[in-house]
Each structure stands twice: as C-alpha cells, then as structure tokens.
Structure 1
Amino acid sequence: SVHHFNITGVTITAPSDSPNTDGIKMGSCSNIHISNTNIGTGDDCIAILSGTTNLDISNVKCGPRHGICVGSLGKNKDEKDVKDLTIRDIVFNGTSDGIRIKTWESSASKILVSNFVYENIQMIDVEKAINIDQKYCPHPPCEHEKKGESHVQIQDIKLKNIYGTSKNKLAVNLQCSKSFPCKN
C-alpha cells in the first residue's frame, strides 16, 4: 500500500497484445495523484483495487486496450471500500472500455464503491464508453452464477461532460446488482 504519492509526466507502454500488462495498478492506497501521463498497454491503463481512497487522476491519455477500471471487486472476503475518486480531462482512444467498474457476482465481501466524479472525458472509437458490470465473470461458467447477485454497493457516481464516439451501438452498459442496486 502507498499513501501520498504523485505520478506525473510519465509514459507507460507495452505491446497492445501483451496480456496482464496494466499500466498502473493500485490497491489499499490513499491520496494518490496521477497527471499528465500517457498509457498504452495490453491491459488496463489504470486498475484501481480494494481499499483505494482519495485518488485524483487528470490529463491522462489512455489506449489502446482497456480503460480506467475500478475492480474487479468483491471476490475476496477481506476487501475494503473504494471511495473518493476524481477522474477528469481524460482521452480514451480505441479502448474496449472507458469508464469501467467491475464487481463479482455473489461476492464474498459487502463493500461500498462511492463518491466518484468522472468529468471532461473524451471517447474516440471506444467499445463501451461507460461500463458498470456487477456480473463480472471472466471465465464462464462461474461457480457464483447460481449463488446470486453482487454485494458491492455502488453509489454517488457523477458523470459529467463525457463525449465522443463509440464502436458499438450500446455505448453505455449499466448492469447493477439486483440485491444492492446502484444509487445516485
């Protein structure tokens, strides 16, 4: 875990077909600032995991591959809340997702994902510009499928001035938990 850390003016690259090459991946971190950074890898530009709070991301160019992802969350018992994220002035270029939050079905932990602001975000040929997936199951069939819904509560999410182009007719996917529906 890292606290009070700044990343600025950095370029991170990996071949677009290289698996599991997240640009920046963090969990159990607080008060992190990421700015003026270019990330193009074979996986998530930025992955935000359990226990991350007070994260500020601005002026980041992201692409190809995946976007800025919160999660996956809820797979393990001892996970912590993810809260107070500000993500602004971002360009997603040719990514599969832009804004993404993913939580496991029938999750092992009841945690809160709250107080996020996404603002001034440009999508260029993005497959799913906004993707909230509370039925995350990367390798079906999942043992969770019969057990029910995600126990991760997503609430207080602001989406402001998000614009651009999508590769799909369905640019926004909001697949919230039936047990803990998305709020606000």
Structure 2
Amino acid sequence: MGFAFVNNSRINGITSLNSKMGHFNFFSVHHFNITDVTITAPCDSPNTDGLKFGFCSNINISKAHIGTGDDCIAILSGTTNMDISDVNCGPGHGISVGSLGKNKEEKDVNGLTVRDIVFNGTSDGIRIKTWESSASKILVSNFVYENIQMINVGNPINIDQKYCPHPPCEKKGESHVQIQDLKLKNIYGTSTNKVAVNLQCSKSFPCKKVELIDINLEHKGVEGGPSTAVCKNVDGSARGKMVPQHCLN
C-alpha cells in the first residue's frame, strides 16, 4: 500500500499480512498518524519493509506490532520530525535510518524520536547506515532514542558509515553524511554478538555530539565473554551505567 503527496491523514487498526514487497510506503507525506497497525511477514522474506518513509515530515507512529524480513521501519532521505513510540519489532532488521548518501539529490534527515520500543530477535535494533562512497553531502541530526529493550538482538546499537550490502563495493572515499546530536538513553537487554555498541563513523565527517546515558547491553551469544563497544571517528560523552564500557573520545 503506497501513499504519495498525502497530508493530514491517518491509518488506524489495519493488519498487513505477507506483502510481496514493502507493506506501507510513504513519499512526500506530511502530518500523518499511524496507530494500532500490525505488520507480518516471514523472517526470511526479502525486501518486506514494514513502514518506509522518504521526503516525509511530521509523522507519528504508535502502538504497532511489526515483524518482517527487512526493516520494521525504514527512514530515508528528506524525512523530518518523526515520533515513534510503543512499537514491538521482530523479526526484522530493526528501525533503520538509511541507507543514505548514494544519490546526489538526497536531503537532510533530522528530528527523530524513538521511545518505548521492544526489539525481539532482530538482526539490528537502532541502526543508521550510510554509503562509504557518498554522492551527496547531507546532515543527519537531532535524534533521540530512549527506553528501548533489546531481546537477543544481533546488533543493538549500530552506526555503519561503510555500508556495503553487496560486496565488493567501489570505494571512492569516506562517507560524506554528517551524523550529529544523537542521544541514546536507557537502552538495555541482550546482544547475540559481542559487539553490542558499534559506532563506525566517517573519517572525513566524524560523528559529533553523541550522548550515551544508561546503557546496559549484556552479551548472550555463543562466543562467550562480556559485551564490547567499538568506536571509530566519534566525538561524544557518556554517563550513568555503561555496559559495555564506552569507547567515546
């Protein structure tokens, strides 16, 4: 189901079952509310994104149950002022921003709040992905993730600025997507990979003003040992409980 150039509207109480591709696609949609939506597809079904947004603004999503073979929610170029709350995601690839930077005409993404979420058995939880060889210089800013539970999630916190879904990729340099003003507060639960916090930012445009507050992610995978954090090209601060130990500058 697709919505393009739709304003001041809402979806309520709809179930989407086994879509052949993405379930709900939104393009240039503004002031739109989505509540009490259930989205279901098998975990191995490719490209079955639950909710996908591009060039949208003032979007509110709440009380949703999403399980797919791709992103539960995908947030793409030009999307601003989005509030996501009370969502259960799993299976799937989490709530993803991107991928970004591949095309020249892309626009900034800013003003995202994600709160009171449960990720259960997903490959990723909090995810931002940008192409290593960027065609556009854009800004990703003013993101807040708060009160989020991870239940056996592969990559609970994952910023990947060397995104390359189908190697080998033509590498022409670092990502030109700037990520800044990112707050992660009260993120807790279990990670199936040892690296529970993965912040791999661009060497040319390092992540700025990344704030970690009360992170408690334990490793529950087959490797054994405690969870770890990896940081590359990140400037930020941390306070409160910190499992794994943070690696910010």
TM-score normalised to the size of structure 1? 0.98
- RMSD over aligned CA atoms reads 0.5
Deviation at 1:17, TM superposition (A): 1.0
1:157 & 1:130 partners in 2: Cα distance?
12
Query: Equivalent residue for 2:224?
Result: none
Query: Equivalent residue for 2:91?
Result: 64
Which runs of 5 or more structure 2 residues have no equivalent in the other structure? 1-27, 210-249
| Greater RCO (Cα-Cα under 8 Å, separation 6 or more) | 1
Q: Which residue identity lines up with residue 160 of structure 2 in the other structure? A: D
Aligned-partner SS, 1:172: strand
Aligned-partner SS, 1:135: strand
Query: Equivalent residue for 1:34?
Result: 61
1:153 & 1:139 partners in 2: Cα distance?
23
CA offsets, 1:72-107, max 9 Å, x none? 000000100000000000000000100000000120
2:69 & 2:131 partners in 1: Cα distance?
22
Is 1:52 aligned to 2:79, yes or no?
Answer: yes
Deviation at 1:65, TM superposition (A): 2.1
- Structure with the greater alpha carbon radius of gyration: 2
Select 1:126's aligned residue among 147, 153, 156: 153
Query: Equivalent residue for 2:51?
Result: 24
CA offsets, 1:112-168, max 9 Å, x none? 00000000000000011000000001111111x2x1100000000000000000001
2:40 & 2:92 partners in 1: Cα distance?
11
More strand by share: 2
Is 1:172 aligned to 2:202, yes or no?
Answer: no
Query: Equivalent residue for 2:134?
Result: 107
2:153 & 2:84 partners in 1: Cα distance?
19
Select 1:93's aligned residue among 92, 115, 120: 120
Q: Which residue identity lines up with residue 31 of structure 1 in the other structure? A: N
Aligned-partner SS, 1:102: strand
Query: Equivalent residue for 1:151?
Result: 176
TM-score normalised to the size of structure 2? 0.73
Aligned-partner SS, 2:39: strand
Aligned-partner SS, 1:75: coil
Select 1:82's aligned residue among 109, 118, 122: 109
Query: Equivalent residue for 1:162?
Result: 187
